[in-house]
Amino acid sequence: MLLRRHKSRVVSVVERVAGLQAQVPRPPFIGLWSRIEGFQRADLVKAIDQREIVRGTLMRATIHLVSRDDYIEWRPTIQPVLTRLMHSVLRGALHKFDLDRIVRSAEARFDQQACTFAELRQHFREEFPGMNDQAMGLIVRMLVPLIQVPGSGQPWAYPGHLRFDGAGWMAGTRLT
């Protein structure tokens, strides 16, 4: 879809190109503008606000913009890669952590309300005093399906201080 623009819906194009790398919110808008005839920024913002399109950790453990349906389908498939990456990064320190307890704690926190990772790390400092809250944040990023919460009125759909929410609501059950 790079040789010419097509008349198509935003969600269809995002699915056709298998998601858009979205570490920074703005590039997917440019990527869609170059593929969709008549594309307007509001088209993508609306799809994000309606959660037809979500932003979360996927391929290469980076942030991607994908359809809600693709996130639900792909996240379990990508999970082994994310788990291996977590093991690689934390190597010898991993034995210090009770992964199941950290995941349960994070899921309980996200079940209360969406939060930033700074807020999640504060939660961990209170629940797991003396433990490395940065490492626990990485564990959560790799093991818990999370999506970034869009911000109403944001020109690129996401605010500077990102809040995350558990993605289990999308499928009606937990994805892991």
In which domain, by residue range, is 21 found?
A: 10-170
61-117 pLDDT, tens digit each: 889 999 999 999 999 999 999 999 999 999 989 889 999 999 999 999 999 889 999
19-55 pLDDT, tens digit each: 999 988 888 999 999 999 999 999 999 999 999 999 9
26 part of a folded domain: yes
2 part of a folded domain: no
Could you give the strand order of the β-sheet that contains 20-21, starting from the edge strand earlier in sequence? 20-21, 63-67, 53-57, 146-148, 164-166
104 part of a folded domain: yes
Compute CA 58 distance to the chain's CA centroid, rounded to the nearest angstrom.
7
Q: How many domains does the chain have?
A: 1
List CB contacts of 153: < 8 A, sequence separation 6 or more: none
43 part of a folded domain: yes
The pTM for the full model equals 0.86
